[in-house]
Amino acid sequence: MSDDIKKGLLGIVVDETEISKVMPEINSLTYRGYAAQDLCARCKFEEVAYLILNKELPNKKQLKQFEKEETKERVLSKTLINVLKQMPKKSHPMDVARTVVSVMGLEDKETKDNSSEANLRKAMRIFAKTPVALAAFYRLRKGKKIIPSKKKLTFAENFFHMCFGKVPNKEIVKAFDVSLILYAEHSFNVSTFTARTITSSLSDIHGAITGAIASLKGPLHGGANEEVMHMMKKIKKPENALKWINKALDNKDVIMGFGHRVYKSGDSRVPTMREYFGKVSKIKKDKVFEKIYEIVEKVMIKRKNIHPNVDYPTGPTYHLMGFDTDFFTPIFVISRITGWSAHIMEQHAANKLIRPLASYKGSKHRKVMQLNHR
C-alpha cells in the first residue's frame, strides 16, 4: 500500500473543533478548556452536559433551567413504549438504543429543522428520553414493569431508580456520575466522526446519533467496556490472571480495554475512574476484580507497554453496581449523546461535505457481456 494512503485516517486532521482536546501540557482530556478530572471533582454530570452543549459552565440559575427542561422530557410517547414492548427480549441494548433514537426522529416535530436552536432542543429531548427508554427495556426484558422517572432525582440517580427501583448510596451514584463525565466527549473518535459525516450531508441529528450509536457498539470503540467484563469473567479468579494474560499475549490476542489511538502512554481518564472503581469495590466488599485488574494491567505494560483506556475500569465498576454486562455500552451512549450533539451542531454551523478519496485497486475497464454469454 502506498505511503500516501492514511488507512484509518491515522494522524490526519480533518477539521477544527472547539469542544474538546487532549492537552499535552497538562496531560489531560479537556472539555472546552476544562480538565475532565477537575470537572469530575467539582461538578455533577448535568453541569458538564450543559458545558458541552452550551459552551460554558452554567451558573445556578442556568443549571436549574437546564435541569427543569431535562426532567420535563423524561417521558416516552405511547408509540415508543409499544415499540419497546415489541422488541425481542434478546435484542442487544445497543441495537435498542439505536432504534429508539431513530423512532424519536419519526416523532419529533422539529426533525427537519437543522438550525442550532432546534438542534439544541432536539439534543435535550434525545438526552433526556434515551435513558428512560433504555431503563424501560432493561426492565421489560426481565419481565418486569417499567418504572417511571422521577423529576426530583438527578440524571444519574434517576437511571438507577428506573433500572432497579432504588437509588444506591451517594458514593456509588458519584462513581456513576464520574463515569458519565469521563465518557461525555472525546473529539473525533469513530462514533463522533460518524455523526459528523452523516451531518455533513445536511442530514438531521436523530439520524446522526443513530449512526453514532451503531459505530459505538463495536468492540474497538465503546463495546470495549463489555468485552473487559467478559474477559474478567473468563479469568474468574486472581490466581488465574497471570497465566491467562500471558497466554493471550502469546496468542497475539487483542486485549480489550487497552490501547488507544490518541493516548500512547496512558489514557488521562483512567486514574480518576480507577479511583472510583476502588471506592465501589470497597463498598461492595469485592477484591476479586481489582486484583485481576492489577495483574492484567501490570503484564500489559511490562510485555507490550500498552496502557489501559477508560473502558478498563468502567467495565468492572458497572458490574459491581449491578448492571448487566450488555448495558455497559448503552450507559456510554446516554453520556456521549452530549458530545455527539455538540459536534453535530458544530458541523452544521460550518459545514463541508465529508467525502474522502480512495485509491482504486480493482479490475481494469471491462466490457459487459450479455447474460447468455457469461
Ligand X SMILES: CC(C)(COP(=O)(O)OP(=O)(O)OC[C@H]1O[C@@H](n2cnc3c(N)ncnc32)[C@H](O)[C@@H]1OP(=O)(O)O)[C@@H](O)C(=O)NCCC(=O)NCCS
Chain centroid to Cα 21, Å, comes to 17
Q: Which of 113, 221, 230, 286 is catalytic?
A: 221
* 256 touches ligand X (CB under 6 A): yes
* 215 touches ligand X (CB under 6 A): no
The piece of 120-128, 156-164, 216-224, 270-278 that touches ligand X (CB under 6 A) is 216-224
Task: In whole angstroms, give the CA distance from residue 235 to residue 293.
Answer: 10
Q: Report CA-CA distances (Å) from 151 to 41, 213, 222, 344.
A: 24, 26, 29, 28
**Which one of residues 147, 224, 320, 344 is an interface residue with ligand X (CB under 6 A)?**
224
Maximum Cα–Cα distance across the chain: 76
The piece of 61-69, 218-226, 333-341, 347-355 that touches ligand X (CB under 6 A) is 218-226
Draw the binding track, 309-328, toward ligand X (x: CB under 6 A; -: no contact). x-x-----------------
Task: In whole angstroms, give the CA distance from residue 116 to residue 148.
Answer: 30
Degrees to nearest 5, angle at CA 46 with 27 and 111: 105
The piece of 80-88, 129-137, 147-155, 249-257 that touches ligand X (CB under 6 A) is 249-257
Q: Listing from the earlier edge strand, what are the strands of the sheet with 34-35?
A: 20-23, 28-31, 34-35
Q: Which amino acid is present at 264?
A: K
**Which one of residues 58, 211, 257, 316 is an interface residue with ligand X (CB under 6 A)?**
257
Exposed/middle/buried for residue 133 (C-beta within 10 Å: 0-12, 13-18, 19+): buried
**Which one of residues 75, 220, 237, 294 is an interface residue with ligand X (CB under 6 A)?**
220
**Which one of residues 258, 293, 318, 328 is an interface residue with ligand X (CB under 6 A)?**
258
**260 has catalytic annotation:** yes
Draw the binding track, 276-305, toward ligand X (x: CB under 6 A; -: no contact). ----------------------------x-
Phi, psi for residue 22 in degrees, rounded to 5: -85, 110
What residues have CB less than 8 Å from 91, skipping those under 6 apart?
137, 141
> Given the C-alpha cell 417511571, which residue does it identify?
148
258 contacts 312 by C-beta, under 8 angstroms: yes
Which residue's Cβ lies closest to ligand X?
259
* 306 touches ligand X (CB under 6 A): yes
Task: In whole angstroms, give the CA distance from residue 226 to residue 214.
Answer: 15
Task: In whole angstroms, give the CA distance from residue 207 to residue 37.
Answer: 31
Residues contacting ligand X: total by CB under 6 A: 16
Exposed/middle/buried for residue 265 (C-beta within 10 Å: 0-12, 13-18, 19+): exposed
Q: How far is the CB of 255 from ligand X (least distance, A)?
A: 4
Chain residues 50-89 in contact with ligand X, contact rule CB under 6 A = none
* 255 touches ligand X (CB under 6 A): yes
* 244 touches ligand X (CB under 6 A): no
Q: How far is the CB of 310 from ligand X (least distance, A)?
A: 6
User: 5 vs 220, which CB is nearer to ligand X?
Assistant: 220
* Phi-psi domain of 33 (left: phi exceeds 0; alpha: psi -120 through 50; beta: other): left
Q: Which of 186, 311, 326, 343 is catalytic?
A: 311
Q: How far is the CB of 308 from ligand X (least distance, A)?
A: 8
**Which one of residues 98, 260, 319, 343 is an interface residue with ligand X (CB under 6 A)?**
260
**Which one of residues 174, 230, 261, 284 is an interface residue with ligand X (CB under 6 A)?**
261
Residues in contact with ligand X by the rule CB under 6 A: 8, 220-221, 224, 254-261, 304, 306, 309, 311
> Which of the residues are catalytic?
221, 260, 311
